[in-house]
C-alpha cells in the first residue's frame, strides 16, 4: 500500500507534504514525489526512486515555495519503480498534476483511445492515462477540473484514490475515491488530505472520510464540498 498527501492553506506546502510522506512510510513504497504550485503559478514537480530522504535530497536548492500541493509514495503496479514512473504525473500540456493510489483496470483501452487523439505518454503507468483523460475531457468539454474528474470517474474502471491540482487554479484541490481510502483534515483556513489520518492528526482533529464514489472540491478559504 502506498500513500497520498495533500495540502492547501497558508503554510509552505512542501514541509507539510514531506512530513506527511514520512508519516505514511510504514505503509511501504518504492518511490515518492511532490507537486507544488508556487506564487507565480508554476507547477513544480519533484520525484525520486527510493526513500523520501532521496526525494528531499533531490529537491534541495530547488523552488519549494507555494502553499498548495500534492504528494505520493508509490507502490508500483504498472511500470517499474523509477523516477519517471513515480507520481505525481502530469497532463500533456503540463497544466494538471495528479497522484493516485490503486489500479486502473481499463487503462490500456483508454491509452489507445488517447494515443489515437495524439496524446503521448512518458511513463508506463496507468495513472498517466487517467491524468491525460482528465485533461482531454477539460479541453473537449471546456470544463473545470472538477467537472472533468467527475466525467473521468465514469469512464475509469478500477480502484483509486486520487488528488488533482490545476496550475490555472491554484486555489483548489480535487480529490476522489473508489475502493481506496482518502481522508480530509479540516483546519483553520487550511485543508489536509491523506490516505489515512496519521499525517493529519498533528494539525487538526476534524477529519472527513470520503466514501466510495465521492468527489471533494477543496477550495482555499471556502467550506469543504463533497
Ligand atoms: N497503479 C499506479 C502505479 O503503478 C499507482 C500505484 C500505487 O498505488 O502506488 O503507478
**72-107, pLDDT tens digit by residue?**
999 999 999 999 999 999 999 999 999 999 999 999
Nearest ligand 1 atom to alpha carbon 101: 8
pLDDT > 80? residue 1:
no
CA–centroid distance for 210 within its chain: 15
pTM: 0.98
Report the separation in Å between the CA atom of 157 and the middle of ligand 1, taken as the mean of its atom positions. 14
Per residue in 41-80, pLDDT (tens digit) is: 999 999 999 999 999 999 999 999 999 999 999 999 999 9
Q: Where are the alpha helices (DSSP H) in 95-184?
A: 107-116, 126-141, 145-155
Nearest ligand 1 atom to alpha carbon 75: 9
pLDDT > 90? residue 35:
yes
Grid cell 500500500 — which residue? 1
Report the separation in Å between the CA atom of 104 and the middle of ligand 1, taken as the mean of its atom positions. 9
Taking the CA atoms of the chain, what radius of gyration do you get in angstroms? Answer: 16
Give the residue-averaged pLDDT of 166-178: 97
* 29 in Cβ contact with 39 (< 8 Å): no
The set of protein residues with a Cβ atom below 6 angstroms from ligand 1 is: 2, 74-79, 85, 100-103, 125-127
Test site for ligand 1: of 70, 107, 126, most ligand atoms within 8 A of the Cβ: 126
Question: Which residue lies with its CA nearest to atom 1 of ligand 1?
Answer: 103
Measured between alpha carbons, how far is 150 from 37 in angstroms, rounded to an integer?
A: 22
Nearest ligand 1 atom to alpha carbon 73: 9
Amino acid at each position: 500500500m502506498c500513500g497520498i498527501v495533500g495540502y492547501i492553506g497558508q503554510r509552505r506546502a512542501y514541509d507539510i507534504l514531506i512530513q506527511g510522506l514520512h508519516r505514511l512510510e510504514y505503509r511501504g513504497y518504492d518511490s515518492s514525489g511532490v507537486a507544488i504550485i508556487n506564487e507565480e503559478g508554476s507547477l513544480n514537480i519533484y520525484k525520486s526512486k527510493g526513500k523520501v530522504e532521496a526525494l528531499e535530497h533531490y529537491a534541495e536548492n530547488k523552488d519549494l515555495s507555494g502553499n498548495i500541493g500534492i504528494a505520493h509514495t508509490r507502490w508500483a503496479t504498472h511500470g517499474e519503480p523509477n523516477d519517471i514512473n513515480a507520481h505525481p504525473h502530469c497532463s500533456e500540456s503540463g497544466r494538471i498534476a495528479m497522484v493516485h493510489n490503486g489500479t486502473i483496470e481499463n487503462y490500456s483501452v483508454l491509452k489507445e483511445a488517447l494515443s489515437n487523439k495524439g496524446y503521448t505518454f512518458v511513463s508506463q503507468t496507468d495513472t498517466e492515462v487517467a491524468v491525460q483523460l482528465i485533461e482531454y475531457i477539460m479541453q473537449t468539454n471546456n470544463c473545470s477540473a472538477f467537472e472533468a474528474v467527475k466525467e473521468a470517474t465514469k469512464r475509469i474502471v478500477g480502484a483509486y484514490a486520487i488528488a488533482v491540482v490545476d496550475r490555472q487554479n491554484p486555489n483548489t484541490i480535487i480529490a476522489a475515491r473508489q475502493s481506496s481510502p482518502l481522508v480530509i483534515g479540516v483546519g483553520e483556513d487550511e485543508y489536509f488530505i491523506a490516505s489515512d489520518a496519521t499525517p493529519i492528526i498533528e494539525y487538526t482533529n476534524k477529519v472527513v472520510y470520503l466514501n466510495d464514489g465521492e468527489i471533494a472540491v477543496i477550495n482555499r478559504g471556502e467550506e469543504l464540498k463533497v
